[in-house]
Amino acid sequence: MSSGLKIQRVFSTPGVNPFDAVEWDKRKAVIADEQGKVIFEQDNVQMPKSWSMLATNVVASKYFYGALGTDRRENSLRQLVHRVARTIADWGFADGYFQTKEDAEIFYSELAHLCLHQYGSFNSPVWFNCGLYQQYGIGKGNNAGNFYFDRKKKSIQRAETQYEYPQCSACFIQSVQDTMEGIMSLAHSEAMLFKFGSGTGSDLSTLRSTRERLSGGGRPSGPLSFLKVYDSIASVVKSGGKTRRAAKMNTLKCWHPDIKEFIEAKSKEEKKAWALIEGGYSGDFNGEAYASVSFQNENLSVRITDDFMKAVAEDREWRTHFVTDPNKPGPSYKAKDLMKWIAEGAWVCGDPGLQFEDTIQKWHTCKNSGPINSSNPCSEYMFVDDSACNLASLNLMKFLGEEGTFNVEKFRAAAEIYITAQEILVDRASYPTEQIARNSHLFRPLGLGYANLGSLLMALGLPYDSDGARGMAGAITAIMHMTAYGQ
């Protein structure tokens, strides 16, 4: 007998196709802009009757593949869920994750049921890219794809097509080297990540400041100049080829000589946008005002140390130092002034945020593999440079019974299915660089989380800020965490 997993049927029914157990109807998916102008419309979209129109609009506009008005366009949640669940189940069987073919089929039915009934969801790149090659033949004959780990050759290979090994992780952290080749290499890999619907973060502290010298005697452009380049690329390469903007995080450490300029960068651009709005330019999300200024496609965060926080508390001077020579001092500022500028920037435009350098390193689980220098755009993923994380979320409200109890066994079963699917995806997915593909294979970062905690606590009558609510959240997290590791 195979050493693979024995899959227990918990949600689906033996002998019943999970799609046949759903009541379907057809709808028109429509999305309009702030002025009421229709920017997306698809008629005869087949969705479960239980799904809201908001969910229908999101799925149809963001995740259905194919050009509108063509026979290649997906028009049913049935197609989307089958494309993803069938592909993952087939990969899992081929790679030895299941004891038998029957276990793979049960896994397919369970995963399809969970997705159809909104028990959970994968991150967007899975819906964008997974199964396009396997189910529809998309990508055959196209240019070479990204990098993946070949399980047979046990080495990193370049995919021959773009979707045979699809990009399936949402969150990336990438390094940047202080050379023109390194700076432009990051620009290229970021563009490829945005193309297939992912977000990325990088720490720019490796780039020498405007106060330093180049080897030829000239002055460096500094990290903010190259950040404008990255911002421009992100603004034109839409996430997953859709209308959603690309997502970026850029950090700078508090000792960097250009830290003041970094802190003030986004608030200065915000004030330019205000002036344009006052001059009559459109100030909405996709309007001319914000499209005309820089740094609108990334989050900025300052990496601050314990010593910096002590300097703020003690009203001390804060000294920066050169990137190329830590013994050579850069500009000095009152630590309180830097903190005030950070707070003012956050008040004006929400940036910069803070990342606590020393605390992050203390909690680092793989210290011997290198420090944690940055995060993904939303900061829930912090890990070593040149790595990626595949995300999925479980909908807590689906596990609340009518009698007001949380169904632990069903929650465990759902966690087992999703974490297994994510594990299968790691080596079947591709990545923009060889190093990210290698680190993904070796570390296998997976992020299984949950959504609707607030709704669950309200339904249970637990105040959000209470010991009972914290106890419930802790228990659910512990169950999910150990179930995922146990699988």
Residues carrying an active site annotation: 376, 378, 380
Structure tokens at 232: 């421009």
> How many Å from the N-terminal Cα to the C-terminal Cα in the chain?
19
Whose structure tokens read 């959970």?
Answer: 120
Beta bridge partners of 319: 332
Nearest CA-CA partner of 41 in 27, 53, 31: 31
Nearest CA-CA partner of 165 in 153, 147, 151, 177: 147
**What's the gap between Cα 231 and its chain centre?**
17
Residue 32: enclosing H or E segment and its boundaries? strand 24-32
**Is the N-terminal amide bond of 352 cis, ω within 30° of 0?**
yes
Burial of 378 (0-12, 13-18, 19+ CB in 10 A): middle
Residue 264 contacts by C-beta under 8 Å, 6 or more apart in sequence? 341, 345
Residue 337 contacts by C-beta under 8 Å, 6 or more apart in sequence? none
Rounded CA-CA distance 197/159 in Å is 18
Residue 89: enclosing H or E segment and its boundaries? helix 77-94
The answer to whether residues 157 and 203 touch, using CB atoms and an 8 Å cutoff, is no
Rounded CA-CA distance 197/172 in Å is 11
Structure tokens at 380: 């829930």
**Dihedral, 214, 218, 219, 220 alpha carbons, nearest 10:** -50
Rounded CA-CA distance 108/119 in Å is 15
What are the helix and strand counts (H, E) for the chain? 16, 16
Beta carbons within 10 angstroms of residue 283's beta carbon: 14
Burial of 310 (0-12, 13-18, 19+ CB in 10 A): exposed
